[in-house]
Amino acid sequence: MKKLKLQNEVFKMFVANYKEWLEILGYAESTVYQLPIHLQEFFYYAEQNHITRLNQITPKTIKKYYKELKERANERRNGALSKSYLNKHQQALKKFKEYLQNHNYKDFNVHLKSERQPTEEKLNILTQSEIKELFRATEYSHTESRFKLRDKAILAILYSCGLRRNEAVHLDVSDILFDKERVFVRKGKNYKERYVPINRKNAEILEDYIYEARPEFYQSYLSEALFINKNGTRMQGMSFANRLKVIVASTNNKTIENKQITLHILRHSIATHLLQKEVPLESIKTFLGHSSLESTQIYTHLLKSIENETV
């Protein structure tokens, strides 16, 4: 169904912005990939029924769409679509409704009732004390000092500097500007460049890795990459994810382990922590490399929900 092509430019815009919203909030990669596809499928159904605006969508529209889903044959096995799959479609529309509410859209006032066995995901972030536990855990994340120092540097880049995974992958040693207390990010989203500040503590972590640990990796002098693997080549995204899993396991903290922390949630956590410290939204926007303030404002809504949970 992901091959269905939309004609309506407004619907296309909503699918793209919805996907970015999910990504910014730190949902699992599978969720960020699947839910926009399900939303696109719903909009395709709407187009086929001559619906071109959100305010034309009614509970009756949803009911007819859902009835059609229930009657659709399963392409992978015999029978109808599973309840789990139907719930994913429900989740896509529920999250889209939440997205609209957070962006002050009032034209999607529909009620959605889930099937049994709901699959709604809970979004987790790390507290500041849990972040400190991760940094401490790098003392036990490997038997060799070079790997432990690299793990700590990875945390400094992904949490303290708030970089995306792809941005961290493409960092070179020369991008760490110690004299200017900045990290140069050239491989940002949509190829936008930016400078990210580093404080003295994180600069020392990066110095320890670059000057003490990195030279111990095989033929490190042949690579410009900041983060290299045991073979002396640039670390890729999956390697970063695997190291984070090891660091999390090294905390021996079940609460942290149960949160199923991803690389993107480290970035998500620093953004939330900055907001808690009352850093201006415009500054957080620049720090994260967001193209619009609207993307950054997502964190204000999330912070309110976090505060409500702790009351």
C-alpha dist (Å) from residue 253 to 21, 42, 129, 178, 244: 30, 41, 12, 34, 14
Active site residue 189: yes
Catalytic residue among 38, 164, 268, 273: 164
Query: End-to-end distance of the chain based on CA atoms, in angstroms?
Result: 43
Active site residue 299: yes
Count of alpha carbons within 13 angstroms of residue 242, beta-carbon side:
8
Active site residue 195: no
In whole angstroms, give the CA distance from residue 159 to residue 135: 10
Torsion angle (degrees, nearest 10) of CA 119, 125, 129, 135: 100
237: which 2 tokens?
A: 């995204």
Catalytic residue among 148, 165, 264, 273: 264
Handedness of CA 157, 159, 162, 166 (dihedral sign): positive
Strands across the sheet with 176-177, in order?
176-177, 182-185, 194-197
Active site residue 67: no
Active site residue 164: yes
In whole angstroms, give the CA distance from residue 68 to residue 34: 19
Catalytic residue among 94, 97, 189, 301: 189
Strand duo 176-177 + 182-185: pairing? antiparallel
Q: Confirm if 208 and 139 have CB atoms less than 8 A apart.
A: no
Catalytic residue among 165, 259, 268, 290: 290
Catalytic residue among 259, 267, 268, 285: 267
Q: Catalytic residue positions?
A: 164, 189, 264, 267, 290, 299
